[in-house]
């Protein structure tokens, strides 16, 4: 009679196959995710794919200048009125 002993993987063989299977599936999933991200990126965004930098509006810039102390409160309100279109009153006009 012929027996096929010694052909099954032992404990180390099962461990090696388990680790190999986990690494295989991790690599396959990683490639799939990277491929999906590369293909779903809208064209024309450039290499970075980031949004354009934030640019504050004129009222925000004026508020920042007032907060830094570059202009006083009267000048802040006067310029804010001009920006909002109400004209305001000009004191230096003769």
Q: What pLDDT does 94 receive? A: 40
| Cα(87)–Cα(78) distance, integer angstroms | 8
Q: What pLDDT does 79 receive? A: 92
Exposed / middle / buried, residue 14 (Cβ in 10 Å: 0-12, 13-18, 19+)? exposed
| Cα(5)–Cα(49) distance, integer angstroms | 59
- pLDDT by 10s per residue, the chain, length 94: 555 566 666 677 888 899 999 999 999 999 999 999 999 887 655 555 566 788 888 999 999 999 999 999 999 999 999 988 876 555 554 4
Q: Is the pTM of this model over 0.75?
A: no
Q: What pLDDT does 54 receive? A: 81
| Cα(69)–Cα(71) distance, integer angstroms | 5
Cβ-based neighbours of 77, under 8 Å, separated by 6 or more: 88
Q: Which residues of 33-52 are buried (b: 16+ CB within 10 A; e: fewer)?
A: eeeeeeeeeeeeeeeeeeee
């Amino acid at each position: 009679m012929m027996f096929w002993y010694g052909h099954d993987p032992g404990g180390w063989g099962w461990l090696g196959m388990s680790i190999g299977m986990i690494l295989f599936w991790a690599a396959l999933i990683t490639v799939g995710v990277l491929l999906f991200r590369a293909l779903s990126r809208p064209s024309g965004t450039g290499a970075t794919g980031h949004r354009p930098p934030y640019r504050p509006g004129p009222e925000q810039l004026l508020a920042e200048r007032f907060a830094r102390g570059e202009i006083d409160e009267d000048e802040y309100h006067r310029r804010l009125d001009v920006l909002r279109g109400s004209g305001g009153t000009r004191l230096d006009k003769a």
